[in-house]
Structure 1
């Protein structure tokens, strides 16, 4: 464990030095940390030996997911959801549960898992990650409604998938351990803390007795997040639902706090995400990748190229979304950080199928990171009508336009 900090610092420095190149090419920072963890872990070099039951695994996963859900919630305040609910609403209301079900069917019939474990895998793999579609979301040549769709969907579906993960995990743990009343109370307390704490903090700052200075203003939302985390721990409320609700509440009632914290918060969340990806990579060994067998790899590929595309196609039937936009939305359903942490939570849960579930989730995420992070630039260029084209294509297009305008072709 002593090697974790220097390993993270070294890979982080390398990622910073390569970040400009990564923004222009298929190189992915997330893939860099995943591969680095794989190489440094027990299965290859053994420099960074990490076991699933190590305390750092659960602690880092918990903090990372809390930070990510908190910042995700800030991207999608109620105002944004009201303005752009139609297309994201289809993706979340139909696409998310359909992706869950199609993935579960694949896990049940291809791998032979029980239905509860299959539904658990479906819930873990249903959220999407905006990081791997960054080139698409940030490209102004991409239609705004597609960028808004992917951004809102990926910001919300982590939190929406969470209750499904918790319920299916509780059921998989056995009837003796299943207490739906306690689970409901845990989720309810999480929502209450996530809404009440930031609302009270923002209202307090607006009174005549208090005012945050410019230098300390970015720390306001950080303090709110830490207080939500502490109260969630003390009351046993669901931390992740509390984080997501807190982010939405800050975005809704504290626009100034949201803007001042945005860049700072994203950096904090990014550090936790990259550290968790490094640890996740270290838990993946050549033996694990080989142990899933051909059926596991077929499931992983089908989860990427069938489950999400089918769900998106059904979700957008009758919509005005163009074919290219639907194709891009269908492909960019990358399995990212939330799925990583949900997989780690299941691994540490002790359920009978924990190892098998984690293996299937792991190979699917590995395939997704490698495929999606290396194709976002290519798909973004698909929408770039101003990109350079061969001279012969330009002349041909000019002649076609000339005919359309009634001109005599040259």
Structure 2
């Protein structure tokens, strides 16, 4: 029992230290997940002396933690975001992982004196981006970028683990058996189809089951989040037992569940946020404890060189080739290439060669650990500055807001919101609350009163309103603080505004003929942008037409474009090299050069 209490004391102390380190990370801008790893290293066998070397336990614990993180990641991904980025993101998650593994494997073949197969195995281990790192940086790091780019990164990081896990497990089996890839090719293809197919099928089925159980079974409010998480882990385990990808299944189940209305949603969200933080802390601490830093100097130079090759060559080249057919600007592709952080997934996969009793098992683990630390240090520290440098940070649409969503018992088709009235907000300046919102209660200086008798709202009042589902974003504007206008806003939204009700023909008359098709000339600017962008329009979306760029500045309560900005010159290129250009831009440049060549010849 004494040993049990000592282990509990040490474990909880490490978790508390990791939790407090978030304050340090926020103050100095340090990558928080890197701090978790470092704390684990400092507490390990070469630091405080905690000797943890159980690879099997670490792999199982890390897998469960990763499943929790992936479910929460899917739960917070809207269907619109998924549809918007599904094809390019899934291309990155499959072909991109394979290309990264192949390129990295070539470098590992020469820097570590591996065989081609061993190099490809190491490349597969580090090929996937880490969902925990990417979701944390984008959601908790306060980086507000265009929805299309954010969705691409989030969907890619959530779906690329199955490909990396498949490649790693398959190559560990091949290397351990001593057989060549030729003899195992057909079996590996069948295994891949089985893992992905079962992962998608059971993930969707699991999501449906979770939603139906939560809707039909009268679960106690405090137990509801536990029910949801337990069911999600059941989907993960059941799919894995049947030979499918449990990680893909739990992510798909999260997407389906998160886009359906179940009670109590706010309690589930808060519980999952806490569990995800705990999962990240535990996973990174355990993997840090598993490492032996005294072994790192032996391979430090080639491992750091491989990490730099991965960050600056392998990942960017793979991303560029995958996104060539899609309409991503040079800056957007460059940013997607940069946010390719490696993390706990790679370290987890690096345990498999040890469990498979491969000759260089520990070498795979140590090299991967160094690569992950370098990736988190370089990319994790520079994601926000890079987004700002590339001009991808979207100016805030509204200012700070203090809002709380409350769950209603039963099946009432209403939402209950609580707002705190902040200084200089529109509602404080006399703007009327819409008729479809039903204010019911005001709390002022600790005293509650009916809204009808509260008089004019005052700063720091708490207002409780009943509204129809889906209208909360319209009320946010009324209770938000004023937007702080940045010097970069005018550059982001263009030189000036144009009328969205103007026609495409007027646009051509002002900015040159030949920009639009005959059908588009008869459309309004808003209709033209909607046709190019798809059915759902988002704030800050862009449409490039010839040498001008149309930008969505505002959307009204019906979801229609109400303000359009125009930039007379395309966004400045991220680099003068053709790197990161999409296929359409490359063809446009080739045509321009051919036209100039003919002009000079004449």
Q: C-alpha displacement at 1:216, in angstroms?
A: 3.2
1:257–1:123 CA distance, 2 compared to 1 (3 A):
farther
Task: Summarize the alignment of residues 132-147 of structure 1 with structure 2, pairs less than 5 Å apart.
Answer: 132-133=133-134, 134-136=136-138, 139=142, 141-147=144-150
1:230–1:315 CA distance, 2 compared to 1 (3 A):
closer
Q: Which residue of 2 aligns with 1:84?
A: 85
1:224–1:350 CA distance, 2 compared to 1 (3 A):
same
Matches of 2:270 and 2:309 in 1, distance apart? 36
Task: Summarize the alignment of residues 212-231 of structure 1 with structure 2, pairs less than 5 Å apart.
Answer: 212-228=219-235, 231=238
1:355–1:15 CA distance, 2 compared to 1 (3 A):
closer
Given that 2:46 and 2:293 are in contact with CA atoms closer than 8 Å, whether structure 1 keeps it comes out as: yes
Q: Which residue of 1 aligns with 2:156?
A: 153
Matches of 2:65 and 2:332 in 1, distance apart? 31
| Deviations 1:198-244, CA, capped at 9 Å, x for gaps | 4334335545xx333444332332131243356468xx3348x2243
Given that 1:195 and 1:249 are in contact with CA atoms closer than 8 Å, whether structure 2 keeps it comes out as: yes
Unaligned runs of 5+ in 2: 397-486, 496-566, 569-602
SS at match of 1:126: coil
Given that 1:69 and 1:158 are in contact with CA atoms closer than 8 Å, whether structure 2 keeps it comes out as: no
Given that 1:228 and 1:242 are in contact with CA atoms closer than 8 Å, whether structure 2 keeps it comes out as: yes
Matches of 2:193 and 2:371 in 1, distance apart? 32
Q: Which residue of 2 aligns with 1:390?
A: none
Matches of 1:189 and 1:71 in 2, distance apart? 20
Q: C-alpha displacement at 1:104, in angstroms?
A: 1.4
1:386–1:65 CA distance, 2 compared to 1 (3 A):
closer
Tell me whether 115-124 or 224-233 shows the greater mean CA deviation: 224-233
Please tell me whether residue 303 in structure 1 is matched to residue 310 in structure 2: yes
TM-score, scaled relative to structure 1: 0.79
1:50 to 43, 49, 52: 52
Q: Which residue of 2 aligns with 1:408?
A: none
User: How many correspondences in the alignment?
Assistant: 387
Matches of 1:316 and 1:375 in 2, distance apart? 22
2:355 to 336, 340, 348: 348
Given that 1:218 and 1:257 are in contact with CA atoms closer than 8 Å, whether structure 2 keeps it comes out as: no
Task: Summarize the alignment of residues 11-410 of structure 1 with structure 2, pairs less than 5 Å apart.
Answer: 11-23=14-26, 25-46=28-49, 48-53=50-55, 56-75=57-76, 80-133=81-134, 134-136=136-138, 139=142, 141-174=144-177, 180=187, 187=195, 193-207=202-216, 210-228=217-235, 231=238, 236-238=241-243, 241-252=245-256, 255-257=260-262, 259=265, 261-317=268-324, 319-382=326-389, 383=391, 384=393
Q: C-alpha displacement at 1:306, in angstroms?
A: 1.3
Tell me whether 247-256 or 182-191 shows the greater mean CA deviation: 182-191
1:289–1:268 CA distance, 2 compared to 1 (3 A):
same
Given that 1:78 and 1:248 are in contact with CA atoms closer than 8 Å, whether structure 2 keeps it comes out as: no
| Deviations 1:46-91, CA, capped at 9 Å, x for gaps | 1x111144x5323322322332333344445766433322442443
Q: C-alpha displacement at 1:18, in angstroms?
A: 4.2
Q: Which structure carries more relative contact order (alpha carbon 8 Å, separation 6+)?
A: 1
Matches of 1:78 and 1:159 in 2, distance apart? 21
TM-score, scaled relative to structure 2: 0.56
Given that 1:23 and 1:135 are in contact with CA atoms closer than 8 Å, whether structure 2 keeps it comes out as: no
Given that 2:237 and 2:246 are in contact with CA atoms closer than 8 Å, whether structure 1 keeps it comes out as: no
1:263–1:351 CA distance, 2 compared to 1 (3 A):
farther
Tell me whether 14-23 or 119-128 shows the greater mean CA deviation: 14-23
Given that 1:117 and 1:353 are in contact with CA atoms closer than 8 Å, whether structure 2 keeps it comes out as: no
Matches of 1:89 and 1:230 in 2, distance apart? 23
1:5–1:36 CA distance, 2 compared to 1 (3 A):
farther
| Deviations 1:125-174, CA, capped at 9 Å, x for gaps | 11112544444556464222222221221121123322222222221221
Q: C-alpha displacement at 1:35, in angstroms?
A: 1.0
Matches of 2:394 and 2:133 in 1, distance apart? 22
Matches of 2:72 and 2:117 in 1, distance apart? 31
| Deviations 1:306-357, CA, capped at 9 Å, x for gaps | 1101112222335432333222211110101211211223332322221121
Q: Which residue of 1 aligns with 2:410?
A: none
- Structure number with the higher helix fraction is 1
Matches of 2:337 and 2:143 in 1, distance apart? 20
Given that 1:221 and 1:257 are in contact with CA atoms closer than 8 Å, whether structure 2 keeps it comes out as: no
Matches of 1:232 and 1:320 in 2, distance apart? 35
Given that 2:88 and 2:322 are in contact with CA atoms closer than 8 Å, whether structure 1 keeps it comes out as: no
Matches of 2:364 and 2:255 in 1, distance apart? 35
Given that 1:100 and 1:125 are in contact with CA atoms closer than 8 Å, whether structure 2 keeps it comes out as: yes
Given that 1:334 and 1:368 are in contact with CA atoms closer than 8 Å, whether structure 2 keeps it comes out as: yes
Matches of 1:16 and 1:288 in 2, distance apart? 28
Matches of 2:38 and 2:7 in 1, distance apart? 15
1:227–1:130 CA distance, 2 compared to 1 (3 A):
closer
Matches of 2:87 and 2:192 in 1, distance apart? 29
- Alignment RMSD, CA only? 3.7
Matches of 1:74 and 1:308 in 2, distance apart? 27
Given that 1:186 and 1:237 are in contact with CA atoms closer than 8 Å, whether structure 2 keeps it comes out as: no
Matches of 1:289 and 1:113 in 2, distance apart? 18
1:280–1:26 CA distance, 2 compared to 1 (3 A):
same
